A and B are shown apart, each in its own frame.
Chain A
């Protein structure tokens, strides 16, 4: 009898050991299905479209994963921007985190092996099918961390793009029609100038000047230019169109009074509040302003795509990334999957955000729907051209400095193009080694 008991005990032990070993073997492949905690960090405010959508996603996740604790921490954008490398490299980091897209951020971390390769999950769970090619650009990175091709290291679930916001009341009061071509646009601006109103709000100390320049350049550009400029496929000649046209037209617009000559020191917030306050009839800026204008602006307003452009500055939003050190990768993938579901996507859309995989017909507010339809038009026609400061780290300040020179009239377009060409070339050399 005793011998029998020993045999049963030995068999039980062997069975347990086999199960354990199998589980350990799976650990190397990231099979952490037994994880009981998901540490999740993001930096969206609670009331923003993404914040609302992701709060709901957390609720759904909890329902579908009873017994799993979600430890959510809201972080500051700058906190993640400056410390992500150290955080992810430690054992104290999250299992899933919102992180900035681009070569200098997600690309850099992926090239150092700090982010999990999501390619298999993207295929298995159908993420690849939900995101258009231009949205996938920011999700995939080469071995050197250059976006556009290679493995999946992040998944975006919202988008953003640069559009023209206009004050309908000011347009009507001054007899100006909504432009559909560049000729209409300049005619509209001439009308405002004639009435002593500066037509375009501007902020030379931050991104708006660079984005206006890029929108102007994109009016003469094609996808090949974007690939050359953003993905370093071929050298870029800064002294030729489209960049030459962008800088020259920008200078011309300053000269004609379309852009205020004393806006070099203004920040994006100043430009936004000037538009909200009805001081300027138009601004060329991103969809990230949309929710705020909806809440704060009293005058009637709407948006239209930068006239005549097939390419628009814009991209996916920031990414969900899964650190290589994550102890709950399966749970993290489940969470990403939930954020891409129609329910969450529609929720983002109905709160003034730009979802990447929403059904526009499910968006109740016509203005919200138009914002999303415009994005879908651009995204589906492969029209997202990213942002001018993306190619190399630190290029944002280079562009700001250059276009402050154009606003002040202290530099010619040629001089500005020279001043932004060298840091671009140096940065590309740094990244590609060419």
Chain B
């Protein structure tokens, strides 16, 4: 018997004065919308209106003062032929490696080791302390971290002194000043900044995995690698999606560390779209062109986010078997 039939059998017949169930549900739904209203208003004010404004400005030529002049898609056409714009997106691919790929993989491994090895062999407090240590860079304001790393990596900074101290003085280098080493140096800093976030999320995820699964696997003779592949990875897949999505968005719009460390230099070697948009907008006073860069960046982030959410939903459906 269908559930609806059972409910109908139990409930008394509706009288003409009582509202129909459908109408009641609609009324209840309307009440839900009231709760969403403040959020919707804020969304329109803080995100929607600026977004529409930026889109409009991207179709104009404007120095920030006076009236914008409508130029249609000119700014977008100019973008297609702008070498710096494409260079900034090439650098973004490397930032994705530094802020998504490496931290997610490394974070997964570290979380598994902390949870499954350190947590079992030592006191749980040891694992918690190490987790906090990995997370520390996330607590630091990113500009402060950038400035400190700038000091470390400067020609007479701590890193070069360390190289001297261990007899590798020949490797001394202007790490952030040379176009060949600036991007790898920035990537290394970003890995350091990012690593704590996946470690914390994955460790929290591992705590909800049924310990019996691991025990059963151990009884069956599965070693750590087998357990990691067969239990850990599939069990924390939802968190992996969340980490990958949030880190991808962070990598696409990264600005603070670039501003603090290199200002996109040397010779655009570390330029990224958000810094390029800022520079065009505020330094070159090309507000329309800067808005076009921001619009393209927003569009890419939205597409990537939708793609991730769709993939996650599909993965969940597959797990549930429908």
Partner pick for A205 among B63, B172, B177, B286, CB 8 A cutoff: B177
Contact B282 A82 (CB under 8 A): yes
* Other contacts beyond A265-B266, A404-B179: 15, CB < 8 A: A85-B64, A109-B65, A205-B262, A262-B155, A264-B177, A264-B266, A265-B174, A265-B176, A394-B279, A394-B284, A397-B263, A404-B177, A405-B267, A408-B174, A408-B177
In the complex, A114→B64 CA distance in Å? 13
Contact B177 A411 (CB under 8 A): no
Contact B285 A262 (CB under 8 A): no
A260 CB–B CB distance under 8 Å: yes
In the complex, A410→B177 CA distance in Å? 11
A contact residues vs B (CB 8 Å cutoff) = 82, 85, 89, 104, 108-109, 112, 114, 204-205, 260-266, 270, 393-394, 396-397, 400-402, 404-405, 407-408, 410-411
- Chain A residues with CB below 8 A from B174, complex form: 261-265, 408
Give the 5 A-B residue pairs with the shortest CB-CB distance, closest first. Answer: A265-B177, A264-B177, A394-B284, A262-B174, A404-B266
- On whether A205 and B265 interact (CB within 8 A), knowing A262-B174, A264-B177, A404-B177, the answer reads yes
What's the nearest-Cβ distance from chain A to residue B137, in Å? 21
Within 8 A of A (CB), among B259-298: 262-268, 279-280, 282-286
Contact A396 B283 (CB under 8 A): yes
- Chain B residues with CB below 8 A from A394, complex form: 279-280, 283-286
B contact residues, total (Cβ < 8 Å)? 32
- Chain A residues with CB below 8 A from B64, complex form: 85
In the complex, A400→B180 CA distance in Å? 17
In the complex, A114→B286 CA distance in Å? 19
B246-267 near A? 1/0 per residue, CB < 8 Å: 0000000000000000111111
- Chain B residues with CB below 8 A from A401, complex form: 265-268
B316 CB–A CB distance under 8 Å: no
Contact B155 A266 (CB under 8 A): yes
- Chain A residues with CB below 8 A from B65, complex form: 85, 89, 108-109, 112, 114
What's the nearest-Cβ distance from chain B to residue A154, in Å? 16
Partner pick for B285 among A104, A204, A261, CB 8 A cutoff: A104
B227 CB–A CB distance under 8 Å: no
- Chain B residues with CB below 8 A from A260, complex form: 155
Contact A393 B283 (CB under 8 A): yes
B211 CB–A CB distance under 8 Å: no
B175 CB–A CB distance under 8 Å: yes
Within 8 A of A (CB), among B121-138: none
- Chain A residues with CB below 8 A from B266, complex form: 204-205, 264-265, 401, 404-405, 408
B12 CB–A CB distance under 8 Å: no
In the complex, A89→B282 CA distance in Å? 18
By DSSP majority rule, is chain B's interface helix, strand, loop, or mixed? loop
Contact A262 B283 (CB under 8 A): no
Partner pick for A404 among B150, B172, B267, B280, CB 8 A cutoff: B267
- Chain A residues with CB below 8 A from B284, complex form: 393-394
Q: Which residue of B lies closest to A113 (CB)?
A: B66
Contact A408 B283 (CB under 8 A): no
- Chain B residues with CB below 8 A from A263, complex form: 155, 174, 177
What's the nearest-Cβ distance from chain A to residue B32, in Å? 40
What's the nearest-Cβ distance from chain B to residue A226, in Å? 23
Q: Which residue of A lies closest to B174 (CB)?
A: A262
What's the nearest-Cβ distance from chain A to residue B227, in Å? 46
In the complex, A261→B155 CA distance in Å? 10
What's the nearest-Cβ distance from chain B to residue A350, in Å? 36
In the complex, A262→B177 CA distance in Å? 7
Contact A112 B263 (CB under 8 A): no
B154 CB–A CB distance under 8 Å: yes
Partner pick for B177 among A114, A204, A393, CB 8 A cutoff: A204
What's the nearest-Cβ distance from chain B to residue A315, in Å? 20
In the complex, A261→B174 CA distance in Å? 9
Contact A411 B66 (CB under 8 A): no
Contact A108 B279 (CB under 8 A): no
In the complex, A89→B63 CA distance in Å? 14
In the complex, A397→B279 CA distance in Å? 9
What's the nearest-Cβ distance from chain A to residue B182, in Å? 8
What are 25 A-B residue pairs whose CB atoms fall within 8 Å in the complex?
Answer: A82-B282, A109-B65, A112-B65, A205-B177, A205-B263, A205-B266, A260-B155, A263-B177, A264-B174, A264-B177, A264-B266, A265-B174, A265-B177, A265-B262, A266-B154, A393-B284, A394-B279, A394-B285, A396-B283, A397-B265, A400-B263, A404-B177, A404-B266, A408-B174, A408-B266
- Chain A residues with CB below 8 A from B164, complex form: none
What's the nearest-Cβ distance from chain B to residue A347, in Å? 35
In the complex, A263→B283 CA distance in Å? 24
Contact B63 A108 (CB under 8 A): yes
What's the nearest-Cβ distance from chain B to residue A273, in Å? 11
B218 CB–A CB distance under 8 Å: no
- Chain B residues with CB below 8 A from A261, complex form: 174
Contact A408 B178 (CB under 8 A): yes
In the complex, A266→B266 CA distance in Å? 11
Contact A410 B267 (CB under 8 A): yes
In the complex, A349→B285 CA distance in Å? 35
In the complex, A401→B267 CA distance in Å? 5
